[in-house]
Amino acid sequence: MSVRQVTLHQLHIFTVLARHLSMSKAATELYQTPPALSLQIKRLSENLGISLYEQIGKKLFLTAAGELVAQAGTEIEERLERLLEELAAQQNLEQGQLRVCITSTAEYFAPRLLGAFCGQHPGVEAHLEIVNRVTLLQRLQRNEDDLYIMGQVPEDIDGVAHAFLDNPIVVVAAAAHPLVEQSDIPLRRLAAEPFILREAGSGTRLTAENFLAEHGIQLHARMTLSSNEAVKQLVAGGLGLGILPRHTLAAEAAAGDLCILDVEGFPILRKWHAVHRRGKHLSAISQRFLEFLLQSQPSE
């Protein structure tokens, strides 16, 4: 075993492979060919004197040693990033990388907040990922980003959640819908209406369904979609009611295409949360952005 011959480049390549568990996907991310990537990892394995992964059929699995090397590589890269930020801070500079991952529903406000933060800290190199809730939770589990912005936080999540912004959930209808003129609409009335809903697993849908289940109400899903924009368009077209975060409706409400219904128990009052892995050492830039979010005011 010759640890001295192990390079940071080899460790970085292996952490990427460990994340994807696919030689072709890792090669694509690293702008390399699979054979070139395989050669680098072979050299790393030879330098360490132990097998790091095994191929069974078309699937790649890390060995126990591979798991340890991948974890160590990730920790080394994170520590180097913190070192650069700490050195920059000593020189009164504000430099470093900030990796933020948000759910697709948060794209109506989170990019503006990130943009405002970067405007105040021009030396920050920000990376923003916009994904669905399932993918966000997977990225959180793999600790791929610094901070994650989501609505409903799972109780069993291995992370720390900081509430920072109101996230009221409302029922919406086309402007011509007969319920628009009614007030204090009973919850049971919703059971008689078709709904255009987000996909199963969506934070907004989970929040609404849990609330309605507590009152013995089950929604009739006429159509399920993976996009808030698509939901709004179909609701505006009169195909059913929708349940959406209020901050996603500013443009349609102003244009008169959609109306928020006065339904018993709504809006459901929830919060947006900034989440990071439990025990994660936040970089100076990440900590500053978290503090920036906690000072944010609701924006409709």
Q: What is the DSSP string of 120-172?
A: H-TTEEEEEEEE-HHHHHHHHHTT-SSEEEESSPPTT-SEEEEEEEE--EEEE
Cβ atoms 190, 241 nearer than 8 A: yes
Of 241 and 204, the structure prediction assigns the larger pLDDT to: 241
Cβ atoms 103, 203 nearer than 8 A: yes
Is residue 249 over pLDDT 70?
A: yes
In the chain, which residues fall in CATH 3.40.190.10? 94-164+272-294, 169-269
Architecture of domain 94-164+272-294: 3-Layer(aba) Sandwich (3.40)
Is residue 24 over pLDDT 60?
A: yes
**Per-residue confidence (pLDDT) for residue 235, from 0 to 100:** 95
Residue 300: pLDDT band with limits 50, 70, 90: very low
pTM, rounded to two decimals: 0.64
CATH value of 169-269 in 3.30.70.1280, 3.40.190.10, 3.40.30.10, 3.40.640.10: 3.40.190.10
**Per-residue confidence (pLDDT) for residue 91, from 0 to 100:** 58
Is residue 18 over pLDDT 80?
A: yes
Average pLDDT of the residues in 90-105: 79
Residue 110: pLDDT band with limits 50, 70, 90: very high
* pLDDT > 90: percent of the chain: 57
The mean pLDDT value of the chain amounts to: 89
Q: Does the 3-73 domain belong in CATH 3.10.150.10? A: no
Average pLDDT of the residues in 278-285: 85
Three-class DSSP category at 290: helix
Sign of the C-alpha dihedral computed for residues 200, 201, 205 and 210 taken in this order: positive
